[in-house]
């Protein structure tokens, strides 16, 4: 029996050795086979392969190609530089004052353009500042030159260019690169500001040229000529990528993206053409290659393209441009001096029996409306016999009229139809008189050294204002567009208390200090906003 088990054990061992040997042979054979395959791959015959050739077929250019070739030479790249500004190291300051948010009912409105207003587009809309303010600091506050980029287009062969105001706002140096200029690190040709209009965020700049430059054609953005669904093309320099072309359609028209007075003159064309930071100021074109809008803003949650962009309509652009190239280099808008409430509905309609109209909430003392007999509670229903649907229609009509002209207003008071004739006033002056009343004995227009050297007109503040701000100084009446004061961010309504640390408690001393300033001097203003005296002193400065 023992012998039997010994033989069985020996046979098992032998079987195991045989199995191991067989597996080893298979592995070795597989390895040789694999090496053989790789060797064959390296030596594969490709003599039956046919070489590829480029087909010399021509695709007929489509409309987008035609438009890009036609308009591209007139689209420019704009670069700006903002020099470092002197700051107070104790705290951060905002060098650009903005007006307080409208404290009236959210549905309220007014027929004047308030200076500043809430930070435009801060909550929902990113404007195309390109590389400017990457860290969220104010221009030049980090002690280094700040650079920004944008786009524009030539409308006059003598070098006049339309762009957005925010592209060149507060810039100390502006440069323009033409489509034909070398694509190198050179910033381009120096440009100067002709005029700006903050209400529509438009600006006109100019470069010098010895030869006529290519120009665009301005199209009609009216309802009879542009429609939702029309194809459009945008050309610009997003992210400094020169001459970038994108296409889309008109998604909507007459789009207002800011509420209240700040948005009264901003009724945009909405498009899904891809536009990004750097496109700002570039043209939006119809399929005839005509400019129907200036790309101005985007709706975004990522600071990039999300399919919703806004362009200022060409009809508005043309009107603003024609004013900015005029002798005054400013847009003059009409006003009657009222605040109003948008929309009449419900109980108001039932009581007064009207579906449309503008409810007057406040009449400016001494303004055109008060002189014409209008009162708070009146409902303006017609202008020169034409029905008024809402406040936008009223503002557009009155703002388009020249100061000194007359207008016939139909209105309802206590349920009775009435009418009156009002004389249109200059919008800026009508409300400047309200916000900055002239003290007795002072005549408007006495600019003195401030106007001559800085481009700012001032007058002495009242005792009441001095008590309110706990300081003495001079109140800014007006700032000349493109002047040193304008470029530094001074605005009407601010009080200058010191210039280069020297007190300016009255106009005489202000003029005395300013008269000693020379080109190349550093000039620092200490200013207080009487609308927000709790913010204390702010410092605004630059090199004259």
Q: Greater confidence, 512 or 39?
A: 512
Residues 321 and 344 in one domain: no
| Residue 189, domain member (yes or no) | yes
- 385 plus 470 within the same structural domain: no
Choosing from 299, 331, 363, the residue where a domain stops is: 331
Would you state the pLDDT for residue 137?
42
Catalytic residue among 237, 280, 314, 478: 280
Q: How many CA atoms lie within 13 A of 264 on its CB side?
A: 32
Write out pLDDT tens, residues 4-22.
445 555 555 556 555 656 6
pLDDT band for position 481 (cuts 50, 70, 90): confident
Residue 127 has a pLDDT of 43
Same domain, 175 and 249: yes
Shared-domain flag, residues 388 and 502: no
Q: How confident is the model at residue 136 (pLDDT cuts 50, 70, 90)?
A: very low
Using pLDDT thresholds of 50, 70 and 90, give the confidence band for residue 100: very low
**Residue 179: exposed, middle, or buried by beta-carbon count in 10 A (0-12, 13-18, 19+)?**
middle
The residue count for the chain: 544
370-386 residue pLDDT tens: 999 999 888 898 999 99
CA dist 531 → 31, 229, 423, 528 (Å): 88, 45, 30, 9
The pLDDT assigned to 88 comes to: 39
Whether residues 148 and 188 fall in one domain: yes
Answer yes or no: do 457 and 343 share one domain: no
CATH number of the domain that 388 lies in? 2.30.42.10
324 and 352, same structural domain? no
Which among 201, 433, 511, 529 is annotated as catalytic? 201
Residues 319 and 404 in one domain: no
Is 9 among the domain residues?
no
Whole-model pTM: value is: 0.64
**Both 447 and 415 in a single domain?**
no
- Residues 398/111, Cβ–Cβ less than 8 Å: yes
- Asked whether residue 351 falls in the same domain as residue 286, the answer is no
Strand ranges in 96-243 using DSSP code E only, listed in sequence order: 108-110, 125-127, 146-156, 160-164, 173-177, 189-197, 202-207, 217-218, 231-236
Q: From 345, 351, 343, select the one nearest 415 (Cα to Cα).
A: 351
As a whole number, mean pLDDT of residues 417-441 equals 71
Which H or E element spans position 412?
Answer: strand 406-413
pLDDT at res. 541: 81
Could you tell me if residue 106 is inside a domain?
Answer: no
pLDDT single digits (tens) 485-500:
888 888 888 999 999 9
Supply the CATH number for residue 316's domain. 2.40.10.120
Mean pLDDT of 399-424: 90
Q: Is residue 48 in some structural domain? A: no
In a domain, 420, yes or no: yes
Domain boundary residue, one of 294, 312, 331: 331
* 276 and 417, same domain (yes or no): no
What total of structural domains would you count in the chain? 3
Q: For a pLDDT cut of 70, what percent of the chain falls above it?
A: 74
201 assigned to active site: yes
Instruction: Clarify whether 166 is annotated catalytic.
Output: yes
Confidence of residue 128 (pLDDT cuts 50, 70, 90): very low
Q: Which of 364, 395, 429 is the last residue of a domain?
A: 429
Rounded to 5°, angle at Cα 278 from 277 and 280? 90
Task: Tell me which residue range forms the domain holding 508.
Answer: 437-543
> In whole numbers, what is the pLDDT of the chain averaged over residues?
79
Give the per-residue pLDDT at 518.
Answer: 86
> Which tokens sit at 534?
């709790």
The stretch 244-270 carries a mean pLDDT of 84
Mean pLDDT of 487-514: 90
Q: Is residue 487 part of a domain?
A: yes
Best-predicted range by mean pLDDT (54-58, 123-127, 203-207): 203-207
Indicate which residue of 139, 166, 172, 529 is catalytic.
166
Same domain, yes or no: 391 and 490:
no
In a domain, 162, yes or no: yes
Active site residue 392: no
Q: What is the pLDDT of residues 321-359, one digit of tens each?
A: 999 999 889 888 899 988 876 655 566 566 656 667 888
Residue 25 lies in a domain: no
């Amino acid at each position: 029996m023992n012998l039997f088990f010994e033989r069985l054990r020996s046979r098992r061992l032998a079987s195991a050795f045989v199995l191991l040997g067989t597996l080893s042979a298979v592995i070795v054979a597989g390895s040789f086979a694999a090496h053989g395959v790789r060797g064959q791959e390296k030596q594969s015959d490709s003599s039956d392969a046919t070489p590829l050739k480029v087909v010399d077929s021509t695709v007929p250019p489509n409309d987008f190609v035609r438009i890009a070739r036609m308009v591209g030479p007139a689209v420019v790249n704009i670069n700006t530089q903002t020099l470092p500004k002197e700051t107070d190291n104790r705290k951060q300051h905002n060098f650009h004052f903005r007006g307080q948010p409208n404290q009236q009912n959210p549905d309220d409105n007014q027929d004047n353009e308030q200076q500043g207003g809430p930070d435009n587009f801060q909550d929902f809309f990113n404007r195309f500042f390109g590389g400017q303010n990457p860290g969220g600091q104010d221009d030049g506050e980090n002690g280094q030159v700040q650079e920004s980029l944008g786009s524009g287009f030539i409308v006059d062969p003598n070098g006049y260019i339309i762009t957005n105001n925010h592209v060149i706002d507060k810039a100390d140096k502006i440069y323009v690169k033409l489509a034909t200029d070398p694509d190198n690190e050179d910033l381009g040709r120096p440009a100067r500001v002709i005029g700006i209009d903050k209400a529509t965020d438009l600006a006109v700049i100019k470069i010098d040229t010895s030869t006529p430059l290519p120009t665009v054609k301005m199209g009609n953005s009216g309802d009879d000529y542009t429609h939702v669904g029309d194809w459009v093309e945008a050309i610009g320099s997003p992210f400094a990528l020169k001459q970038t072309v994108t296409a889309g359609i008109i998604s909507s028209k007459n789009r207002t993206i800011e509420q209240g007075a700040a948005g009264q003159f901003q009724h945009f064309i909405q498009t899904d053409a891809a536009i990004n930071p750097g496109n700002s100021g570039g043209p939006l074109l119809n399929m005839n290659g005509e400019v129907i809008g200036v790309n101005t803003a985007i709706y975004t949650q990522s600071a990039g393209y999300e399919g919703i962009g806004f362009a200022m309509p060409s009809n508005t652009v043309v009107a603003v441009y024609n004013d900015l190239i005029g002798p005054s280099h400013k847009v003059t808008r009409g006003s009657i001096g009222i605040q109003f409430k948008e929309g009449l509905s419900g109980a108001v309609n039932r009581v007064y029996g009207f579906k449309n109209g503008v409810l007057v909430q406040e009449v400016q003392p001494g303004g055109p409306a008060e002189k014409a007999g209008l009162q708070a509670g009146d409902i303006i229903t017609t202008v020169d016999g034409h029905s008024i649907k809402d406040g936008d229609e009223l503002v557009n009509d009155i703002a388009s009229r020249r100061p000194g002209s007359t207008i016939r207003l139909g209105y309802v008071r206590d349920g009775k139809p009435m009418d009156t004739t009002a004389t249109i006033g200059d919008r800026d002056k009508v409300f400047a008189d309200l916000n900055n009343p002239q003290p007795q004995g002072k005549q408007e227009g006495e600019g003195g050294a401030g106007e001559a050297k800085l481009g700012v007109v001032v007058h002495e503040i009242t005792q009441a204002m001095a008590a309110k701000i706990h300081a003495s100084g001079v109140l800014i009446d007006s700032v000349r567009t493109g002047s040193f004061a304008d470029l530094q961010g001074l605005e009407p309504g601010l009080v200058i208390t010191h210039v280069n640390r020297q007190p300016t408690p009255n106009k005489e001393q202000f003029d005395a200090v300013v008269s000693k300033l020379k080109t190349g001097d550093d000039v620092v203003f200490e200013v207080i906003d009487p609308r927000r005296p709790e913010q204390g002193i702010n410092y605004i400065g630059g090199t004259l």
